[in-house]
Amino acid sequence: MITITEKEQLLMSEIISKGYRNAAVSFSKLTGQQVMIEVAHVELCSDHNYLLKKYNHQDNLTILQTEIIGQLSGVSYLIFNEKEKITISQMSLASFGSNSTLDENIILLEIDNIISAAVITELSNMLNLRIYGDVPALLKFDNMTDFHNSLKLEDEGHYVLTNSTFLFANHKMISPIFLWKMDKRILEIVNDLDN
């Protein structure tokens, strides 16, 4: 198992947090109300079983997947349980009025697009890389074990797991899981920043 240094942990936490702050501004425009995204914790690890151990109780998942393309490969997974999916969809659809015919899945894909793009932009800027996010895909899994089994575990890399809370102006909140699987070179790139 690879040991993650404090510097690596802090830098990834800074990138994710700054990306979330920028995403909150765009997300507020989408919903028509102030939305804050508070990052409670960012963990960087190389153990793919960690997610399964920590969140095995999660069922009926909607997962938005965005591939990272360019000088650094990776993939992000924005993971909602059923209650979170309903809450965020209703909050977002409400901003379009009661006569809106927008599909819930389109709203969820746009939310992922906003958040993942903001974080990928921060990764690109802070690590001086040319990377971008592909078009997101919406996936459904019965439970966390099924999702874990779908991951390409043979691909080496590091996982960035964030616990965050979306706070809406009407005092509703959700805490989805955001998992980033990054190319194993991410730690080399982070450590080269000071050199």
Q: What is the pLDDT of residues 13-49, one digit of tens each?
A: 888 888 888 888 888 887 788 888 887 778 877 776 7
pTM: 0.88
Please report, for residues 49, 151, 157, the alpha-carbon distance to residue 69 in angstroms, rounded to integers and kept in the order given.
25, 18, 15
Mean pLDDT, all residues of the chain: 83
**Amino acid identity, residue 85?**
K
Asked whether 13 and 108 are in contact (CB, 8 A), the reply is: no
What phi and psi, each to the nearest 5 degrees, are found at residue 74? 170, -175
d(CA 75, CA 90): 27
Tell me the pLDDT tens digit for each residue of 64-95.
999 999 999 999 999 999 998 988 888 777 77
pLDDT tier at 97, thresholds 50, 70, 90: low
d(CA 16, CA 76): 12
d(CA 147, CA 102): 27
d(CA 120, CA 70): 11
Asked whether 177 and 161 are in contact (CB, 8 A), the reply is: yes
Asked whether 161 and 179 are in contact (CB, 8 A), the reply is: yes
Q: List the domains of the chain with CATH numbers.
A: 6-190 (3.40.1550.10)
Beta-carbon contacts of 101 under 8 Å, excluding residues fewer than 6 positions away, are: none
**Amino acid identity, residue 68?**
I
d(CA 64, CA 115): 11
